[in-house]
Structure formats: C-alpha cells, structure tokens
Amino acid sequence: MSEGWDDLPTELLLMIMSYLEAKELARLGNVNYHWKRVGEDDSLWKYLFFKDFTRNSQTYRKVCERWIDEYKLLKFEPPITLTESLRDCPDGLSHVAFSDDGQLFCTTANDASFKIWTATSPVYLLDERYMDDALGWERALSSEFSADNKRLLVAGVKFGGIGEIAIYSVDEDSSSIHYLCRVLNNPPEVGACWYNSSYIFSGDIYFFNRNSIVGTSVSQIWICSSLSPDAVGNESVMSPVFRILNRGGTYCQMIKLSRFVPSRLRGVVVLAEEAAIEHKTLTSKANELVSEELSDSERRSEMKKRIEEISSAWGTECSNCKNWHLMDQDDNVNGLPVTYAACCPCFCHENDHRLLIYATGDNEFSPPHCVAFKIVDGNMIAGKINPETESWPKREERVAGRRHQQQEFEEAQLSAIMSMVDFPDHIIDMKAYIMGMTLSLDQK
C-alpha cells in the first residue's frame, strides 16, 4: 500500500470508518497499527453497539472500559447455557431472584426451603435453609436481595395459611447466611419489598363488617426494620405507612417499591392537592393551566408540559448518579442534557420520594387485573424510622385534639372515616389477570 494511505489523518479516517459496519471496521484494523488504533475509537463502537444491540442508551449499564470490548462481549461471549438442573429441589421451585450485582441468586422451593447459589457455570451452592423445621413454614414463596446485596428477604406461608417474612444477612466471604428477624405478612399474596438496605415494606389486612358502605377491608402497609433486635437502637422496629381502602373484597397484592417517580404523576398529585384545598375538581383545576382557544391536541400537549413543570421542584441531582448513566464529559447522552433519575443507592437520595406499586382488582374470587400507584413521601418515612425527631404534642394537647376530632366525627362521620384511609394516586386497568410483577434495573 502506498505511503499516503498509511499516513491518513485521524480525523479523516474516523469520518470514513463511521460509514462501515462492525465486520468491515474490524478488518481494517489489520492494515497497520495506525488504522487499528483509530478503528478502536469509542465514538465508532459506541454507535455500532447501540445500533446493533439496543436502542436505549440511557438505561444501559456499561461493563467494559472500551466500547469495542463491550461489543465483543455481547457478540462473542453471550451465555450459551440457558438451563441448569438444580439439586435437591424435588417439589419444584416457586421463585428465583438475583442479587443486584449479578453474583448470586436465590431459589425458593415448595418444600419450604431456600438456597443461595453463585451465578456461575456451573453453579455452586453457597448456603441453604429449611424453613419447615426452623420457622414452621409450609412453603417458601419468593425472595429479594437488598440493594447492597448484604441482606435477603424471604417470604413464605406458615402452617395454617399465615404469611411471614424472614430476613437473613448474606456473607459472601464466609459463604454463609445468618438469621436476623421475621415479621408477619398477611395475606401472603401481599408480598414484601425493600425500602432501603435496612428496612422493608410488608402488609396486613383488617376486614370491615360485611354491611359496611365504606368498603370491605383496609390494607395496612408497614415499614419494618430488617436489623436484629439488639442492633435497632433508638430506631423504630415497625411503623404504619398507609391504610389503603379496599372495595369488593380485593386487597393490595405483590407490592413493589420504585425509586423512580414519573414527573407527570407527581404533577397530577400536586395539582389534586391544590384542587382539594381550593374546593375544586381536578378537571377544573387542570383546565386553568391551558388556554381555551387552543385545539384539543394542542391543549393535551400543553397540559402535559405544564403538569411536568409543576413537579420540577421535586427534582434532585447527585454527582454519584453519573455512574448509572452513559454520559460524555458534558453530562450529555447523545448530545442531550440528562436529569439524574432517583434510582441510585447513594445516601443523598435516602429521603427522596418513592413509588409504591401493587396489584388490585374488583373482587376476592378472581386474580387482580389492575396496577395501582401511590407516591411515598421520603420525609414521612424518615420521621417514622426515627420517631425521636418528631415533636410529639403534650398530653393536654392530645386530649384536646381527641375531643375536637370526636366533635368533627359526630358532625360528619363518613368524611371522618374517609380521612383515616389512603387511596392510590393512579390506577391502570391491564384488562388481563396479573400473575406477577417485577421492576427493571433502572426501576422505570
């Protein structure tokens, strides 16, 4: 090859190579060292990676340092073993859960046992527990690792149909797990989820009289400590969070907690609170945001924009969140500015709002078919975890408050009862029975 081709400027080579596919680009690396070095540039392989494998650059977590190595990882080293027969599970598995770092996974079985395995090929058994003898369980239903992968939540059913949650600490160095605590969880279908690495959400149900016009029951959502009793200290062990009103015999099931709260949902909730204070309907309050002179499509577009602007004050930024997104040096993804989503586990997001997600339905005789959403105030949870930070009223103030509440209750009993319960912020009817739910890695 002539000397001129060998000495082509880097900028010109990059422009030419940007038109090539991955196979041709890899072949050009055999020309000489200069072409090989330019052909491995991140700008070329990042574009090819997202073109050939995925379209969403904001939710992808990079593994390798260079994009050419990331491309090779998915091209030449994908998992080839799709199934593996696990030992000592004669009654079958009920659930499989992976740790956030992908190093471990837990299997729960119908014989009331759970086992922790290494996510390798072949798999190795790290530790196991048989809950029928230890805690009197009939079967184990599901499990979930904490965000820091140091604790494991296991949900099961005791003999008699009572649900229960057991918490274990996971020690990878010593290849062992240790029992920490347990808490009731009724009905078992409510499930449980992690609020953070130290606290979980669990549920209970309280039934009304069958002739009640208010509803059939109340689902009580609790926040419970996952620490052993000796390690709790001054923090609360168990505190109520929500009392969700149920109608038609249904109740909250399969609860999940997301760190990501959509800005539009936040705006609608703020707007609804303002409408209630002003004694207006949500529709009339929303119509005040846009001009009546606009067409229907323009009104919808403008209303969406205005509602998202209302929730902009809730946004948070964190430098550590950069590790959860693919950004250039100017904090951009594909040239667009990025607002850090509240889905990273760093401490500055501890009091951020979260989104409670659960399944519900119309009656007790069929599986749930709706997904409900409820925003969880992080500051409220912080006050319940550390009750000494709250300013409790004096005894005289509490007595006077109860008298005032009694007078209000007698004046408007139904309004007083409804003020004691919570309702979902939004419900989506899936038009199909829901058998299970899980969240994506970015929790969106």
pLDDT tens figures, 262-287: 888 888 888 887 887 888 777 777 77
Q: What is the mean pLDDT of residues 317-329?
A: 47
> What integer pLDDT is reported at residue 230 of this predicted model?
64
Q: What is the mean pLDDT of the chain?
A: 78
User: Residue 340 — very low, low, confident or very high, per pLDDT cuts 50/70/90?
Assistant: very low
Q: What is the mean pLDDT of residues 416-438?
A: 85
294 or 428, greater pLDDT = 428
> What integer pLDDT is reported at residue 25 of this predicted model?
87
Least confident window among 232-246, 293-307, 390-404, 415-429: 390-404
Query: What are the chain's domains?
Result: 3-76 (1.20.1280.50)
> What integer pLDDT is reported at residue 82 of this predicted model?
61
Residue type, 271: L
User: Residue 312 — very low, low, confident or very high, per pLDDT cuts 50/70/90?
Assistant: low
What is each CA distance from 412 to 214, 354, 409, in whole angstroms? 14, 33, 5
419 or 4, greater pLDDT = 419
Residue 301 scores a pLDDT above 50: yes
Tell me the per-residue pLDDT of 150-159, one tens digit each, with 9 for 90 and over.
999 999 999 8
Q: What is the mean pLDDT of residues 227-249?
A: 75
> What integer pLDDT is reported at residue 174 of this predicted model?
76
Q: What is the mean pLDDT of residues 5-10?
A: 79
Long-range contacts of 37-45 (CB under 8 A, 24+ apart): 38/10, 38/13, 38/14, 39/13, 40/66, 40/68, 41/14, 41/17, 42/66, 42/67, 42/68, 43/14, 43/18, 44/14, 44/17, 44/18, 45/70, 45/71
Q: What is the mean pLDDT of residues 74-85?
A: 70
Instruction: Give the separation between CA 99 and CA 90, rounded to whole angstroms.
Output: 24
> What integer pLDDT is reported at residue 370 of this predicted model?
92
* % of the chain with per-residue pLDDT over 90: 14
> What integer pLDDT is reported at residue 300 of this predicted model?
78
Instruction: Give the separation between CA 213 and CA 195, rounded to whole angstroms.
Output: 34
> What integer pLDDT is reported at residue 59 of this predicted model?
62
Q: What is the mean pLDDT of residues 350-354?
A: 77
